[in-house]
Amino acid sequence: MSDLKRFLLGRRLASDETHHTKLNNFVGLSVFSSDALSSVAYATQEIMASLSMAIPHGVAAIAISGAANPIFGMSVPVACGIVALLIILGVSYRQTILAYPTGGGAYIVAKENIGELAALVAGASLLTDYILTVAASVSSGVAAITAAAPFLNGHNVLLTIVSIMFIAMANLRGVKESGAFFAVPTYGFVACIMIMLSVGFSRWAMGSGAPTPSPEQVRGALDHAQQFSGLALLWIFMRAYSAGCTALTGVEAISNGVQAFRDPPERNASHTMIWMVGLLGIMFLGITLLSNHFGVVYAHSPNPEIVAETLLSKLAKAIYGDVAHGVPKLMYYLTQGFTFAILVVAANTAYADFPRLAALIGRDAYMPKQFASQGDRLVFSNGIIILTLVSCALVWIMNANTDLLLPLYALGVFTGFTLSQAGMVMHWIKLKGKEPHWHLKAIVNGIGMATSGIVMLDIAVTKFSHGAWIIVVLIPAMVVLFLNIHRHYIGLTAKLAASRLDAVLPNKHHAIVLVSSLHRGVVEALRYARLISGDRVEALTVDLGSDGYNDSPAIHKLRADWVYYGLGVPLRSVPSPYRRIVEPILAEVDRFKLAEPDVCLTIILPEFVTSHWWERVLHGQMALRIKAQLMLKPGVIVTSVRMHLPD
């Protein structure tokens, strides 16, 4: 098993080898920005799907372009508004990175500047978002590949779970190794999208575009669009805006992982942030503009069992033309392939940040402290494993359907955005008079707080009935769980400190050796019991064949052998006519403690250990059950004497 682990994960890394795991900017962009960059594959799609809900099916079928239907044309101002918010958040988070060179995620910033409760809300929001990032991104990637290879339809759940397991294994090897491996999909996707945008805008400049709708189609679409005005139109815009804000998930990832970059980490992280914002804005706005120009729209599949063809797949076909032959076919399949790859890789951002955030919260004793432990490859292995299990379960429950997953997606991250920016405003106010231009920096973060807060409310209201209510309920529940865990750790610390005053063992000691049959391990256990307790030793066995009055033949044989091998230790049998083993032993322990409460009692379990791991499954694990129950008994010491069997 150890050899297999080394083969899969690589050699162990010592604690002083941390510098070998640091990332340069090129690899750092692929690790911490793949989530944000990959969102362009479905952000415009979600805007179109939201707008299509305001259009009757018949009208949507004939009015296929923004020119023919002003409702779909709203996607352009929606996208422009989202890009403006992206720039605001990019500038705000760059300030956060420079102010917190050791890592300035929403949890840390809120904790230091607002308080415990705000920090826990931010932590719960981001942890939830990272889980959804894995589930939604990988599901979207599988949807992209099934659009290009329809014969894979129906296997989305299996393909998604296998992809998640692959990413988890890569991250267990280490962040640097996974980043270098996943750099190819990230930059391949960016290259494919940039080529597609170049070809699309070139064709636009040459007058190519969607077929011109007939006057009747235009008139029908305009008549329908004129039905919306005032609050109805505002509601449509808000709903589309909240849907498109999935493009901004992952923007905070770099600020969470500043310490993963090479020295000076804050400068390298801030430069990476600038590149991410620029690439994301160009690709997202370009896809939205070309989708409108070429008349490409998207609507959710009416059947949740069927995943509709993605908008990006439709757009690539519209731009490249006939994708059945030659270069257009090659570019189409390259685009779909790298879309699948980066959407799978986008989960790597969550795998980079979820374990780090869980470790921070664990160190503060709001989550199990095991999350703060680093594995053989200097990664937080427990966080990686939990993230994998929960996201796979979510994929299975939601049938890998992005139409069900994406509405849950953005609320948590915008809650984190808002609290992080609010914390930064308080940070600059605290530094008033010490930090140059503190008021300008506070204004920048204040604008980020206000805009992200408005979007958070927009998402909560417009997506509430589409699944956002789950997040609204889940985050407070997680905060309550965090507080209870913290209360447990605080109480445990107090009890352990107070227990020093009672650290006096009784003067008398008694040992009970549990016996099921007679072998060398039992004899060794008897000798050990004599060593620690002298003559205060007895052996206890459970007679499963007894009728309650007479010993079974097996016990008669055991007593006969005991005369020669029992070392003079008295053997007592407890009848168990209902074939129970654990319960009679516990009853005997309780009886002894009640009769002699001032005696220190040790229960000794003789165990044999097989030479091969697979042989263990052939034997019952009764000793584990007995130990698990005895551990709950105060004043009882449990120990094992093991006999290792030869090959």
pLDDT classification of 104: cutoffs 50, 70, 90: low
Residue 59's pLDDT band, with cuts at 50, 70 and 90, is very low
* Chain segment 369-391, per-residue pLDDT in tens: 888 776 555 567 788 889 999 98
pLDDT > 70? residue 579: yes
Nearest to 97, CA basis, from 109, 88, 110, 86: 109
Q: Average per-residue pLDDT in the chain?
A: 80
How far is Cα 107 from Cα 190, in angstroms, rounded to an integer? Answer: 31
| pLDDT of amino acid 197 | 93
Residue-wise pLDDT tens digits, 248-265: 877 887 887 787 788 788
Taking residues 17-28, report their average pLDDT: 66
Among 16-20, 97-101, 276-280, 299-303, the range of highest mean pLDDT: 276-280
CATH superfamily of 7-487: Amino acid/polyamine transporter I (1.20.1740.10)
Residue type present at position 469: W
8 A C-beta contact, residue 148 and residue 332: yes
Provide CB contacts within 8 A for 588, sequence distance 6+: 512, 540, 574
Reply yes or no: is the peptide bond before residue 575 cis, omega within 30 of 0. Answer: no
The mean pLDDT value for 321-337 works out to 81
What pLDDT, on the 0 to 100 scale, is given for residue 403?
Answer: 67
- Whole-Å CA distances, 112 to 141, 236, 427, 432: 38, 39, 8, 16
pLDDT band of residue 495 (cuts 50, 70, 90) is confident
Report pLDDT for 149: 76
How are beta strands 636-644 and 537-543 bridged, if at all?
Answer: unpaired
Separation between Cα atoms, residue 43 and residue 75, nearest integer Å: 11
Higher pLDDT, 284 or 32: 284
The predicted structure's pLDDT at residue 67: 42
**CATH no., domain 505-644:** 3.40.50.620
Q: In sequence order, what are the residues at sequence separation of 6 or more whose Cβ sits closer than 8 angstroms to the Cβ of residue 466?
A: 407
Average pLDDT over residues 231-248: 79
- What is the DSSP code (8-state) at residue 640? E
**Domain-wise residue ranges, the chain:** 7-487, 505-644
Q: Give the residue with greater pLDDT, 300 vs 258.
A: 258
The DSSP 8-state label assigned to residue 425 in this structure reads: H
> Is pLDDT above 50 for 150?
yes
pLDDT 10s digits, 597-631? 888 889 999 888 877 777 677 666 788 888 888 88
Residue 390 is predicted with a pLDDT of: 92
- Phi and psi at residue 503, to the nearest 5°: -80, 65
- pLDDT score of 193 more than 90: yes
Nearest one of 33, 110, 27 to 342, comparing CA atoms: 33
Model confidence at 66, pLDDT cuts 50, 70, 90, reads: very low
DSSP for 15-35, written as a single string: GGGGGGG-B-HHHHHHHHSHH
Per CATH, 7-487 and 505-644 having the same topology is answered no
Measure the CA–CA gap between 43 and 244, rounded to whole angstroms.
5
Give the pLDDT confidence score for residue 83 in this predicted structure.
92
- The yes-or-no verdict on residue 566 having pLDDT over 80 is yes
- Given a cut of 50, whether residue 13 has pLDDT beyond it is no
Q: How far is CA 562 from CA 532, 533, 629, 641, in A?
A: 21, 20, 28, 19
What's the CA gap between 65 and 467, in Å, rounded? 29
The strand pair at 599-609 and 636-644 is best described as parallel
pLDDT score of 63: 43
